Amino acid sequence: MRRRIRIPPIASSEITSETAYLSRRTFIRGAGMMAAPLVAGVSSPLASSESVAGAPLQYAPAGPGANGFYTDEPQTPFEDVASYCNFYEFGTDKGDPARYAGQMSTDPWSVEVGGAVARPGKLNLEDIMSGYDLEERVYRLRCVEAWSMVVPWIGFPLGDLLRRFEPTSSARYVEFRTLYRREEMPGTRSFTSIIDWPYREGLRMDEAMHPLTLVAVGLYGKTLPNQNGAPLRLVVPWKYGFKSIKSIVSIRLLEQQPATSWQSLAPREYGFYANVNPQVDHPRWSQKYERRLPSTLFRPNRMPTLMFNGYGEQVADLYKGMDLARFY
């Protein structure tokens, strides 16, 4: 019987200083739990006594350019990024991942790559990290729930990873799966759970190979906190946030479009493509505007949403001739 959870209805001066971090872990362990009280859906900073640092990373810093890898919009403070999350394996409340994800073990970690590839195999995290030069990407992140952030991610292009396994000519889609450990993930044990675990997402092959599509292993210069998808996650900045799957353990290249978790659960509300599009509303709310964190009840920091989340110059050609209201 399937377990179920309930569907819940950018001059960069805001980076947290080093003193906000209280301790360090080894590289692979990354960052742990960060508690954060949330009231009525409004984010609040993490209590410093609960903050746990990730390990520092060596990477090429982001800079201005026409490639879309950087925005000079104010960056969302670390405390908000680490405390306001969707990671339903740990619960449906925005603070649940920060409260409970610390119990998820990320050491050891491996990713299995298979399907339509000439060289299927499994990579340990150490192999992944030693094989790619890390770089910073300062991206907008837009949630389908109409809130948004600006985050300085650290990672490398997904295309570089996929090429290592030599995709065959039949590879047209890529499927991703999240770690699934019931004993470490209280949200998967909830009697209200409606997701068929493990969590699954997918991209078209040209989307996966696009230079903007990032395998992120860190943010704010250090390894990812567990609640943000440690030890590695996807970041696809022109799509709604649920496409940027966390804590990846499996990647498969496929000939047919894969079934993804939210599309399977509610296809009228969550399409396979999930491109940020202010002209196509969610059935239960408008997508024309977003609430940029940090925000408060009386200062919601509301702004218009940009087509493709502002990355149209880079990605619009991927969808030339497509009806984006139909293929939402």
- 160-178, pLDDT tens digit by residue? 999 999 999 999 999 999 9
What letter represents residue 114's amino acid?
G
Mean pLDDT value across the chain: 87
- pLDDT for 71-100, tens place per residue? 999 999 999 999 999 999 999 999 999 999
Lookup: tokens for 98: 């920060």
The structural domains of the chain, with segments of one domain joined by +, span 18-319
Please give the pLDDT value at position 161. 98
Question: Is the pLDDT confidence value at 152 over 70?
Answer: yes
Please give the pLDDT value at position 48. 34
Name 157's Cβ contacts closer than 8 Å, sequence gap at least 6: 211, 213, 214, 215
What letter represents residue 162's amino acid?
L
Q: How many Cα atoms occupy the beta-carbon half-sphere of 171 within 13 Å?
A: 25
CA pair distance 146, 89, nearest whole angstrom: 21
DSSP element (H, E) containing 303: strand 302-304
The model carries a pTM of: 0.85
Please give the pLDDT value at position 50. 39
Which CATH fold topology does 18-319 show? Sulfite Oxidase; Chain A, domain 2 (3.90.420)
